[in-house]
């Protein structure tokens, strides 16, 4: 709920989406339906909720109330995050990488919006190291322990390019590629590839 609110979803709509997500993840007795299955059966093509954990974040697009704008975000430059930028079925442990976590995700775990904005501003100037992280954790109190230095097992690598016109000015055309990778020693394995023009 806090993540949806941090992404700008109105509270009543966020509550409906949370109920639909919980229904999707909650088992139902054999032969019975969950409260949202009637909605899913009325879709074309029809389907039923899995009533188990998510295997891919893209499953969120099937959830009642989640639109493509909410899932993907609504800006090409990444300034307006979507759910896909903030969640992963592969994460674990509840810790956030201080150098890569979205401000919205930090807000969702209890870091105040001004503190989340300060962390984003700081890391845009330089990578936050171990000593600086310790200082941030101390200043934030107990919620600061949710921040971690470096990824545990999942990393997102992202690059954006802009072409230059004949006059030397940057064009409005942007191309962004990203990879969600996991560490499986001795290698890294690409879990998901994103390519947005």
**What tens digit of pLDDT does each residue of 40-86 get?**
999 989 998 889 888 888 899 999 999 999 998 876 666 788 898 88
Last residue of a domain, one of 46, 65, 85: 85
Considering the chain, what is the average pLDDT of its residues?
A: 85
Higher pLDDT, 181 or 164: 164
Instruction: Please check whether residues 8 and 80 belong to one and the same domain.
Output: yes
Report the CATH number that the domain containing residue 40 is assigned in CATH: 1.10.40.60
Q: In the chain, how many domains are there?
A: 3
Instruction: Please check whether residues 7 and 80 belong to one and the same domain.
Output: yes
Range 9-24 average pLDDT: 96
β-pairing, 96-97 vs 147-148, is: parallel
Domain of 143, in residue numbers? 91-148
Strand order in the sheet with 170-184: 154-164, 170-184, 187-196
Residue 96: pLDDT band with limits 50, 70, 90: confident
Of the candidates 148, 155, 151, which has an alpha carbon nearest to the alpha carbon of residue 98? 148
Instruction: Please check whether residues 81 and 6 belong to one and the same domain.
Output: yes
Largest CA distance in the chain: 66
Instruction: Please check whether residues 51 and 12 belong to one and the same domain.
Output: yes
Q: Cα(26)–Cα(24) distance, rounded to whole angstroms?
A: 6
Entry pTM: 0.71
CB within 8 A of 83, min separation 6: which ones? 3, 7, 57, 60, 66, 70, 71
Instruction: Please check whether residues 144 and 159 belong to one and the same domain.
Output: no
Instruction: Please check whether residues 163 and 139 belong to one and the same domain.
Output: no
Last residue of a domain, one of 31, 66, 85: 85
Q: Cα(79)–Cα(73) distance, rounded to whole angstroms?
A: 8
CB within 8 A of 137, min separation 6: which ones? 144, 145, 147
Residue 81 has what DSSP assignment? -
Convert the pLDDT of each residue in 26-41 to its tens digit.
Answer: 999 888 888 999 999 9
């Amino acid at each position: 709920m806090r993540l949806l609110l941090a992404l700008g979803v109105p509270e009543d709509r966020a509550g409906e989406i949370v109920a639909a997500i919980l229904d999707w993840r909650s088992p139902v007795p054999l032969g019975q339906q969950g409260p949202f299955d009637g909605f899913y059966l009325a879709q074309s093509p029809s389907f039923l909720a899995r009533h188990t954990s998510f295997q891919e974040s893209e499953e969120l697009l099937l959830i009642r109330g989640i639109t493509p704008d909410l899932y993907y975000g609504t800006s090409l430059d990444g300034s307006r995050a979507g759910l896909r930028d903030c969640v992963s079925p592969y994460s674990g442990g509840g810790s956030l990488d201080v150098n890569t976590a979205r401000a919205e995700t930090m807000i969702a775990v209890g870091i105040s919006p001004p503190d989340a904005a300060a962390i984003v501003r700081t890391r845009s100037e330089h990578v936050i190291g171990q000593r600086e992280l310790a200082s941030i954790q101390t200043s934030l109190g107990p919620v600061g322990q949710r921040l971690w230095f470096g990824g545990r097992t999942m990393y997102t690598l992202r690059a954006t390019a802009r072409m230059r016109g004949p006059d030397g000015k940057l064009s409005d055309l942007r191309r962004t590629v990203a990879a969600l990778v996991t560490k499986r020693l001795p290698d890294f394995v690409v879990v998901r590839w994103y390519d947005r023009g």
